Amino acid sequence: MILKLFINQKRETRNQKRTDDYQSCVPFTQDQMTIGPIDFGELPLFLAPMEDVSDPPFRLLCKRYGADMLYTEFISSGGLVHDAKNSVMKLDIYEQERPVGIQIFGGEIDQVREAAKIVDEVGPDVIDINFGCPVKKVVCKDGGAGILRNLPKMQAITAAVIEESTRPVTVKTRLGWDDQTIQIMEVARMLEDTGVKSLAVHARTRSQMYKGEARWQWLRKIKEKSGITIPLIGNGDATSPERVKDMFDQTGVDAVMIGRGAIGNPWIFRDTKVFLETGEIPPPPTWEERLQVVAEHLTLKCEWLGERTGVLEMRRMYGGYFKGFRNASSLRMAVIEKKTLDEVLEVLLNFDEKAANVRIAVSSLPTPIKGVKKATLPAAVS
């Protein structure tokens, strides 16, 4: 009981603090947002790069439902330079998804430079550098958020990518390595001075990983006090139409990037756009629409990754897709047991008699952008 009281009190203090932080907030009005030559209009919504999630099938669905900008998942510079199959396949982008960014990571300047050349040839609309990944095996080699401990090297990597690129270079990062070393204001200025065309900030430190709350007050601070003029893309915990609107209103960011809120819910882009315009959230997709999109997503994933991996990887999506539906957990259990595409489709399409007519709208991936050599081996070291 006492513990409960204490927790409630703590929660109230925290909520009060949050209100205080924003009390002086007058909602911002946003202008048209551009990255280099790309005009996004007002209040654009970006799909976050997400490993094993933001693949072509998912990106195409998010595009259909209104995402204004898409990114590939992060791709290892080392993998590209060494022509690793897993990395090279992630370079596939499609005309239908433009504007689309290819995101790379790496902590070795020369390797990232080579990777930037390879990526540039593929023809994305932007090349994005990942300076935010918190995973140990990435940060220990100065990749991802690891570089937040070495800003001169961050600057050198950024400059190298810009030198090799014929298109806008953008960056996605975090507030800092930990609470003691939040240097995002300096980082933002340094990146702009180096030539970066937009900055996406996941408002957590590396030490926070994905825990605790994203600290949106930093986004506002960057917008108001850093002096940068390039667009700022806010990211972290914008998980619903209301939260996206709150982020725009409370921080003044130029775009909001949605990650986990889109997993199993590509409709979040459509819903958010309607909400921003009218203040109303559209009714959720019908059971049929959901099943149709799940079936489509699964089919495309199997085409993209091969049947075995596609069926396996799709399993992490079902939770989001089936959320809120009657019998959701038994449907999830039933599909998770199945091993082939046909078996899963059979369960999906027969689960509810109302869903018997579900049709798969897109059963094949489009052709990747052509006329470019996707990956080349660098000159052998003599």
Ligand X SMILES: Cc1cc2nc3c(=O)[nH]c(=O)nc-3n(C[C@H](O)[C@H](O)[C@H](O)COP(=O)(O)O)c2cc1C
Binding site for ligand X (CB under 6 A): 48-51, 53, 73-74, 103, 130, 132-133, 172, 202, 235-238, 258-261
Decide if 62 is catalytic: no
Q: Which is nearer to ligand X, 93 or 349 (CB)?
A: 93
Q: Which is nearer to ligand X, 124 or 259 (CB)?
A: 259
Beta carbon of residue 51, minimum distance to ligand X (angstroms, whole number): 4
SS (H, E, C) the chain: CHHHHHHHHHHHHHHHHHHHHHHCCCCCCCCCEEECCEEEECCCEEECCCCCCCCHHHHHHHHHCCCCEEECCCEEHHHHHCCCHHHHHCCCCCHHHCCEEEEEECCCHHHHHHHHHHHHHHCCCEEEEEECCCCHHHHCCCCHHHHHHCHHHHHHHHHHHHHHCCCCEEEEEECECCHHHECHHHHHHHHHHHCCCCEEEECCCCCCCCCCCCCHHHHHHHHHHCCCCCCEEEECCCCCHHHHHHHHHHHCCCEEEECHHHCCCCCHHHHHHHHHHHCCCCCCCCHHHHHHHHHHHHHHHHHHHCHHHHHHHHHHHHHHHHCCCCCHHHHHHHHHCCCCHHHHHHHHHHCCHHHHHCCCCCCCCCCCCCCCCCCCCCCCCC
Q: Which is nearer to ligand X, 113 or 243 (CB)?
A: 243
Beta carbon of residue 342, minimum distance to ligand X (angstroms, whole number): 27
What are the residues whose beta carbons fall under 8 Å from the beta carbon of 177, sequence distance 6 or more? 145, 148, 149, 205, 206, 207
Query: Which is catalytic among the residues 25, 62, 133, 302?
Result: 133
Beta carbon of residue 119, minimum distance to ligand X (angstroms, whole number): 14
Per-residue b or e along 284-298, where b marks 16 or more CB atoms closer than 10 Å to that residue's CB: ebebeebbbbbbbbb
Q: Hey, what amino acid is at 242?
A: E
Beta carbon of residue 147, minimum distance to ligand X (angstroms, whole number): 13
Are 351 and 328 in contact by the 8 Å Cβ rule? The answer is: no
Q: Which is nearer to ligand X, 136 or 370 (CB)?
A: 136
Q: Which is nearer to ligand X, 73 or 254 (CB)?
A: 73
Beta carbon of residue 213, minimum distance to ligand X (angstroms, whole number): 10
Beta carbon of residue 379, minimum distance to ligand X (angstroms, whole number): 29
Q: Which is nearer to ligand X, 219 or 349 (CB)?
A: 219
Q: Which is nearer to ligand X, 238 or 375 (CB)?
A: 238
Beta carbon of residue 371, minimum distance to ligand X (angstroms, whole number): 27
Burial level of 304, CB count in 10 A (0-12/13-18/19+)?
A: middle
| Residue whose C-beta lies closest to ligand X | 259
Q: Known catalytic residues?
A: 133
